[in-house]
Structures are given as C-alpha cells and as structure tokens.
Amino acid sequence: MHINKITVFTYDANYSNGTYNMSGGRNATATGQRSLVVWINIDDDIEGWVESAPLGGDYLPSFFNGELAALKELSTHVLGLDLRSPAVVGAAMHGILMSGAAAKAIIDIACWDIPGKAVGLPTSVLLVGRQQKELLAISVIGIGNRRSEGSR
C-alpha cells in the first residue's frame, strides 16, 4: 500500500446567494473561494479522495494559496511511503514542514480513505464509527438583516 501518485485539483466554490457577509465587515463575493480536491493513488490501484474548502484567509487560518503550496511541498516527501503505518506518513510531513496543518490534514484524510476502501468501510466507520444513519447537510447564512439572511 505505497503512495505512488498525488494529484491536486482546484475549483471555485461559488456562493449561490450573492455576497456572504461575515463579522468585522468582511465579505466574500458570489465569485466564491478557491478550493481543493486531492487524489492519492497507491500501488494496489486503490485511490483516496479528500476535499478542502478553506474559504479564504480572512475566514480561517488556512487559505488556498498556503494549502496549495504546502501540498506541493509535502507531496514529494510522502511518495513511496507505506499507508499501513500512518505514523510514518505523519512523521514525514512533520519532518519537512512545521506549518501547513491544513495541508497535512488533507493528505492524512486521503490516506485514511484508502484502507477504508480496501476493507469496504467508509472512513468514518474505520476511525470512530458512524454516529447517525444519514449525513446531514448544512448551509451557512451570513451576518446581515435577520429576515433576508434567514429566508435564504
């Protein structure tokens, strides 16, 4: 179960309701935020996938360009590593880059997706067990007029 390829895809996560208003007068426009999808393939032809939508550097400590740069740096150092020992992958990432926690988490989650697929279990079941039957979807509303934001 050795990592033989990592591919990073990007896309724009657009807001369907126009501008998203946040505290402190911060706004995100309908053009959205850059987001990432990472694909990891191993020598057994099993693949792991993960998505990260950092939502901009004014929303979370991580941000698209930072995660992308860290992923490029980290990817070359985890190629060839055996996923049967997740601690080895984590140690390699920590050894090369002290920061980049979000990018490390992206690789880590994609790596856990692979053994889950190998044994036919979702990652949630593999790690901690499923707590509910269905996955719930959420929608975030911005800060603004209660009536207009609540109606979204």
H or E stretch at 7: strand 3-13
Domain count, the chain: 1
pTM: 0.79
**Which position has the higher pLDDT, 140 or 73?**
73
**Interatomic CA distance for residues 29 and 18, integer angstroms:** 6
**Interatomic CA distance for residues 152 and 150, integer angstroms:** 5
The conformation of residue 19, written as its DSSP 8-state character, comes to P
Residue 16 predicted with pLDDT over 80: no
Question: The domain that contains 100 carries what CATH number?
Answer: 3.30.390.10
Q: DSSP letter string over 88-151?
A: HHHHHHHHH-SS-HHHHHHHHHHHHHHHHHHTT--HHHHHT---SSSPPP-----SS-HHHHHT
Tell me, what's the pLDDT at 90? 94
Highest mean pLDDT among 12-16, 68-72, 122-126: 68-72
pLDDT per position as a tens digit, 62-113: 888 999 999 999 999 999 999 888 889 999 999 999 999 999 999 999 998 9
Tell me, what's the pLDDT at 54? 75
Residue 125 structural domain: 3-150
Tell me, what's the pLDDT at 73? 95
